[in-house]
Amino acid sequence: MKIKYLLLAAISGAIIAADQAVKIYVHTHFALHESVDVIPGFFNLTYVRNPGAAFGFLAESHPWFREIFFLSMPPVALLIILAILRGVLESDRWTIVSLSMVFGGAIGNYIDRIRFRYVIDFLDFHIQKKYVWPAFNIADMAIVCGVSILLYLEFTKNRATKQAPADNPPAT
C-alpha cells in the first residue's frame, strides 16, 4: 500500500478518535449549554449543538433541506479529497497531511450528523464573554488547519512559479 494512503488512514483516524472521544465525554457529562471555565475570561468547555455548518451557517434553514444537504455533502467531499490525493506525489507530504486533516475532520463531524442530526461543539473562546468566537470542535480545527495549509502551499507554489526565471529570457 502506498505511504500516502497509510498517512491518510493514520492522521484522519487519530483526528476522528480524538474528536469523537471528547464529543462523547461532553455529550454524556455535560448538560446542554453547560460551561466549565478552563482559562477564566478566555476559554471554556461548553456543550453546544450546532445543526448548521461553521458559525451556524444554514442553521436556520428548513430542517429537511439541512438534513439532505449535510448528509449528502460530506461523502461527496470525501470522494473529491480521495481523487485529489490520488494525483498527489508521495514526496508531497504537506499536501498529504493537510488533505488527511480535512478528511478526518469531515468524517468526525459526519459521524455526529448521522448519529444526532447536529454537530457537538465544545471549544468556547471569548474575551471576558464580551467578544465571543462561535464554539467549535476538534474536527473543525482539523478542517481549518488542513485547508489553511493547502492555501499556504498553493500560495507559495504560485509565488515561486511567478518568481522563477524564465527558461528563455527575451533577446536584447
Q: List residues with catalytic annotation.
A: 121, 140
Instruction: Mean pLDDT check: name the lowest of 11-15, 19-23, 75-79, 161-165.
Output: 161-165
Q: What is the pLDDT of residue 79?
A: 97
Neighbour-count burial for 38-59, b at 16+ CB within 10 Å, e otherwise: eeeeeebbbbbbbbbbeeeeee
Residue 131: phi and psi, rounded to 5, are -110, 110
pTM of the model: 0.86
Q: Give 110-156 pLDDT, tens digit per residue.
A: 999 999 999 999 999 999 888 999 999 999 999 999 999 999 999 99
Q: What is the pLDDT of residue 112?
A: 96
Question: pLDDT band at 164, cuts 50/70/90?
Answer: low
- Give the closest residue to 102 by CA, choosing from 18, 23, 8, 21: 8
Question: pLDDT band at 94, cuts 50/70/90?
Answer: very high
Q: Tell which wins on pLDDT, 71 or 93.
A: 93
Q: What is the pLDDT of residue 111?
A: 97
Asked if pLDDT for residue 166 goes beyond 70, the answer is: no
Q: What is the pLDDT of residue 129?
A: 80
Handedness of CA 123, 127, 128, 132 (dihedral sign): negative
H or E stretch covering 95? helix 93-116
Beta strands in the chain (DSSP E): 35-39, 43-50, 119-127, 131-132
Question: What residue ranges do the domains of the chain occupy?
Answer: 3-154
Q: What is the pLDDT of residue 159?
A: 74
